[in-house]
Amino acid sequence: MILIKKLCRTLDLTDVFKMNKGLEKRKKIFLRYADSFNLYIKAQGGEAIYGEIGGKIYRIDKAIYVCPLCLRKFTIKAVEGENPLLTLEHVPPKALGGPSKILTCKVCNNTSGKDLDSAIMAGLKAYSFFTGKPHSSIPSRFIINSKRFEGELRYRGKNEITLRLNENYNSREVINLPPYFEQSEGRVNFILSFPSNKRFRNAVLRVAYLQAFTLFGYSFVFNDNIEKIRNHLKDNTSSLNVNMLSQGFSNDLVGIHLIREPKEVSNYLIVLPYQDADSRYNVGIILPGPGQEKWNNYLSYPEFIKNNFAGNDGNMNITLTTLMGYKGVREEKEAVLHFYTLWE
């Protein structure tokens, strides 16, 4: 009896179970996308048994997984071990309710993943506050009679906003607040710490990029237009516009769509749900389809919206082909070229 107890203590079975489950999941995704990679190479070169990617030649009977963000190549060994080189990434981020998982390499997952997740959370929080969602808050600095206080503004609903100080102020300072109000004749200035819109947009773009990869596989990754999107994600100084639509998507529009009309903005539209503690937001991101025309549409999108939809309550009259419940390369082998053929 004692021996069994001791054994149970040293060998926590739930940990082992979790580890195996993670490994199984990684293996399954690895093999599915390695297969999709092979099919893509084959589709490019007929019955050829060799594929050339990035100047290197690979035998296609050898399973290769290409990290969709940095294009580094990995064999099945990369999902094994305690510290695997290919790791599961939730899309959208786990903290924001992301259900689907994909493998990205440890470097891509660690260096940008966590930073970008926090950028999305901060962006959504601010969005809640400015659209008047009750109980939403935004970090703020208050200046009362030239003295600065750190804290947050909280919207309580019915046009009531409360001002909260950070917990690190001691009670003495808080008790001493009223005199400041008196001296300033009730005037309080605020500096709102609005999160970086650029970081927020890039983070949402990265999520949409990964989601499109889960559906289209490598025909998406190796497309010229998508390469430009990927380069933008890598380059902090890039001025490429991120075309985001943050309002007006009902839950039944979550998924992937082809914008057919207006022709001038024809491209892919990906709507993904983000869920934080209080709210759910459906955010739409435009991703370019294949070909020069689609890329030109992508670049001219902001100008087009400005010229055609200003003063129209932001309502856009668009014709979509909606791919509801579309599983793409996750389930169908033929889907390997859908990134192109869906437009035909």
272 binds Zn ion (CB under 5 A): no
Task: Show contacts with Zn ion in window 179-218 (CB under 5 A).
Answer: none
> Pattern of binders to Zn ion over 18-57, x per CB under 5 A?
----------------------------------------
CB of 71 vs Zn ion, minimal distance in Å: 7
69 binds Zn ion (CB under 5 A): yes
Q: How many residues in total does the chain contain?
A: 344
67 binds Zn ion (CB under 5 A): yes
Question: What is d(CA 81, CA 2) in angstroms, rounded to the nearest whole number?
Answer: 32
CB within 8 A of 173, min separation 6: which ones?
none
257 with 271: CB under 8 angstroms? yes
Q: Which of 167, 168, 165, 171 is nearest to 153 (CA)?
A: 165
70 vs 337, beta carbon nearer Zn ion: 70
CB of 212 vs Zn ion, minimal distance in Å: 16
242 binds Zn ion (CB under 5 A): no
116 vs 124, beta carbon nearer Zn ion: 116
Site residue total, Zn ion (CB under 5 A): 5
202 with 116: CB under 8 angstroms? yes
Question: What is d(CA 273, CA 284) in angstroms, rounded to the nearest whole number?
Answer: 9
Question: What is d(CA 264, CA 261) in angstroms, rounded to the nearest whole number?
Answer: 8
CB of 104 vs Zn ion, minimal distance in Å: 5
Question: What is d(CA 186, CA 183) in angstroms, rounded to the nearest whole number?
Answer: 8
108 vs 229, beta carbon nearer Zn ion: 108
70 vs 192, beta carbon nearer Zn ion: 70
70 binds Zn ion (CB under 5 A): yes
Q: Which of 49, 71, 52 is nearest to 60 (CA)?
A: 49
Q: Which of 303, 312, 304, 318 is nearest to 262 (CA)?
A: 318
41 vs 69, beta carbon nearer Zn ion: 69
121 with 136: CB under 8 angstroms? no
> Pattern of binders to Zn ion over 81-110, x per CB under 5 A?
------------------------x--x--
CB of 226 vs Zn ion, minimal distance in Å: 15
Which residues contact Zn ion (rule: CB under 5 A)?
A: 67, 69-70, 105, 108
